[in-house]
Amino acid sequence: MHLKNFQSPVEFSLTNYYLKGEPVINQTRKTKDLTGIFQDQKAYESLYPEQLIYSVQAWMPVPEGTPGGLFFGVSTIMPGKVGNEYFMTKGHFHSKSDRAEFYWGLKGKGMLILMDLNRNTWAEEVCPGSLHYIGAHIAHRLANTGDENLVVGACWPSDAGHDYDEIAANGFSARLVEVDGKPRLT
């Protein structure tokens, strides 16, 4: 019998929402990486190209594409707007489109925007403690509607993959914009 204690190689801080350890990947999305995502082209062009819009950290304990594994991620979306549209992630379907995902709110305030294959779009409010099940064949995107960072945890299958092309080509069927100081899907 083996009774040794081992430490997990990756730690998640409950105070600063940071993944620490190896292997962790760090990805940033700046204004210049989000061409065509926002509606107001003039407002988009007025932003500094190097401005950070969101970052993602992920622990991928098995190679991408492995069946049966799981990935753990943390997305941080900065507060701000492009015109009247909130800062948001690119959004995607999973490449294996029947793969589901959990999101949960950790900090800040936002919306999870969801769209099915018939292009019906709806949104769920994200706040610390909110839990979101993103079912099969549902495109998903996060928007920060508050004035501090929005931090959201995620767990998805290691063979899900990301299909950005459909959203890049056709977008979601609705956009989350600020109307009279409040978020509205239009």
Q: Residue 132, interface with ligand F6R (CB under 6 A)?
A: no
Annotate each residue in 94-113 with x if it binds Zn ion (CB under 5 A) or - if it does not, as one string: -------x------------
Stretch that binds ligand F6R, among 84-92, 111-119, 169-177, 178-186 (CB under 6 A): 84-92
Q: Which is nearer to ligand F6R, 38 or 156 (CB)?
A: 156
In whole angstroms, the minimum distance from the beta carbon of 58 to ligand F6R comes to: 6
| Rounded-to-integer distance, Cα 172 and Cα 38, Å | 11
Tell me: does residue 96 bind ligand F6R (CB under 6 A). Answer: no
Of ligand F6R, Zn ion, none, which one does residue 177 interact with (CB within 5 to 8 Å by kind)? none
Residue 101 or 159: the one with the smaller Cβ distance to Zn ion is: 101
Helix (H) or strand (E) holding 42: helix 41-45
Nearest-angstrom CA–CA distance, 87 and 144: 6
Find the part of the chain contacting ligand F6R (CB under 6 A) among 40-48, 114-122, 153-161, 168-176. Answer: 153-161
Q: How many CB atoms lie within 10 A of CB 41?
A: 12
User: Least distance in Å: CB of 133 to Zn ion?
Assistant: 12
Helix (H) or strand (E) holding 45: helix 41-45
For the stretch 144-167, what's the b/e string if a residue is b when 16 or more beta carbons lie within 10 angstroms of its beta carbon? bbbeebbbbbbebbbbbbeeeeeb
Name the region of 147 (left: φ>0; alpha: ψ -120 to 50; beta: rest): alpha
Interface with Zn ion (CB under 5 A)? 101
Interface with ligand F6R (CB under 6 A)? 56, 73, 75, 89-92, 101, 140, 142, 154, 156, 160, 162
